[in-house]
A = this chain, B = another copy of it.
Amino acid sequence: MNDVIKPRGCTNLKLRQLNRMVTRHYDHYVAEAGLKITQYSLLSYVVKLGPVRPGELAKHMQMDTSTLTRNMQPLVAQGWLIISAGHDARSRLVTATETGYAKQTEGKLAWKKAQLALNERLGTERVAELHQLLDASIERLSDNKEED
């Protein structure tokens, strides 16, 4: 017999549940900047990746392109993002505007408060461990080896 602990319960259930709780937590903080945490994330990705094609962005975020299309709309409506023509007639380029950059900076302050509060709530060490596991899991599931 080995002494490996078997996982109990449903990974997805636990993930969803914690995700809901944590999202609420962050949302409360970044609402201060007029953002939702999902919007802050997207905005941050665009800022980080610079002018980028939607497909590329979706790949980075591990998100369906159709989801991305729609998630960008509120940010475009607020004037934080601009979607322009790409080098291809079918392709596009997503760029953060000046106000977009400013909003991202503003959001970053609120985000940091949320993150620190969470660290306090859960314990910094536990959060660090969680990050390691999440990163490792994302990494492993990223490998395009889905043999159906």
Instruction: Give chain A's interface residues, CB within 8 Å of chain B.
Output: 4-23, 25-26, 28, 37-38, 41, 61-63, 111, 114-115, 118-119, 121-131, 133-138, 140-142, 148
What is the distance, in angstroms, from A48's C-beta to the closest C-beta of chain B? 12
The A interface, classified by DSSP as helix, strand, loop or mixed, is helix
Instruction: List 16 A-B pairs, Cβ < 8 Å.
Output: A5-B125, A5-B128, A10-B41, A11-B127, A12-B23, A12-B26, A12-B41, A14-B131, A14-B138, A16-B19, A17-B61, A17-B62, A20-B63, A122-B137, A122-B141, A126-B136
Given contacts A10-B115, A13-B41, contact A18 B128 (CB under 8 A): no
Given A7-B128, A22-B11, are A38 and B61 neighbors across the interface (CB < 8 Å)?
Answer: no
Residues of B within 8 A of A114 (CB): 12
Q: Contact between B18 and A22 (Cβ–Cβ < 8 Å)?
A: no
Residues on B with beta carbons closer than 8 Å to the beta carbon of A26:
12
**Closest approach, in angstroms, between the C-beta of A38 and any C-beta of chain B?**
7
Bound state CA distance, A62 and B9, in angstroms? Answer: 16
Closest B residue to A133 by CB, please name it. Answer: B130
B20–A62 contact, CB under 8 A?
yes
The 7 closest A-B pairs by CB, nearest first: A14-B134, A7-B127, A7-B128, A5-B128, A19-B19, A21-B141, A12-B26
7 extra A-B contacts, CB within 8 A, seeds A6-B124, A15-B23, A22-B141: A10-B111, A12-B22, A14-B135, A15-B18, A16-B41, A20-B63, A21-B62
